Amino acid sequence: MTNPKFRESDTSLKKFDIAIANPMWNQPFDESIFEKDPFNRFESQGGTTSGKGDWAWLQHTVAILKDNGRATVVLDTGAVTRGSGSKNEDRERNIRKWFVEQDVVEGVILLPDNLFYNTTAAGIIIVLRKNKPKDRRGRITLVNASSEFKKGQPQNFIPQETIRRIADAFNAGQDVEGFVKVIAADEAAKNDFNLSPSRYVVQGATENGRLIKAVLADLKQLEEIEAALARELTPLLAKLAAMETQKTD
């Protein structure tokens, strides 16, 4: 961040068609170091963040993209939620606002828990794209892939065919119940620029879960069985209690 190696000059960064990054999550960010950034990565792109460096890395990534460039960045889930809903001014939320209003967020993919060696926390993939195709402009594709995994030792993993399913669903950019939700920029604004897929995609039946309707039906049946057993056992228990009383006397 302080000394980028891919540069054209002391004030100009080299541009790329595609960038892929997995920066340190929630890295402490000293804003004072970048008050006069020679590459103009921050103030021109929503302002300088504070506390966490996640959005600084995203600002850096956008700064190195060509006019039609694309990027994917893996971060902690907090990067797309922190500050939303707060009554106070929040710099991370303001930067998200800039990204949404500039229409460079193509989508966010929520990953399963326990995929990484250094943390059990879920991650996200933020997909950035300059100059989106017409059919994707003003839209953000959110994929909730939190259940798309298989158990492994010691980490969970996403099978190759499931990776393809997630990628195909993202590229299609169409709503899929319990899996994909495409929102407009104004919907993101109504939610105070919270871009977490779990906020918009409600999962129902999955390989590892059941529909709530079915669970409620089972609970009702269990309640009926419990009531029937209570009717049968109550008189028997009353007789046993009476016998105990007689023996005590």
Q: Please say if the pLDDT value at position 34 is more than 50.
A: yes
- Residue given tokens 């393809």 in the structure block: 164
Burial of 154 by CB count in 10 Å (0-12 exposed, 13-18 middle, 19+ buried)?
exposed
Mean pLDDT of the residues in the chain: 89
134: left (phi over 0), alpha (psi -120 to 50) or beta: alpha
Which of 24, 34, 84 has its CA nearest to residue 54?
A: 24
Q: What is the pTM of this model?
A: 0.79
Q: Please say if the pLDDT value at position 128 is more than 90.
A: yes
The C-alpha R_g of the chain, in whole angstroms, comes to 26
Burial of 66 by CB count in 10 Å (0-12 exposed, 13-18 middle, 19+ buried)?
middle
Q: 188-218, pLDDT tens digit by residue?
A: 999 999 999 999 998 764 445 556 656 666 6
pLDDT for the residue 35: 80
**What's at 138, amino acid-wise?**
G
Q: Which residues contact 37 (CB under 8 A, 6 or more apart)?
A: 43
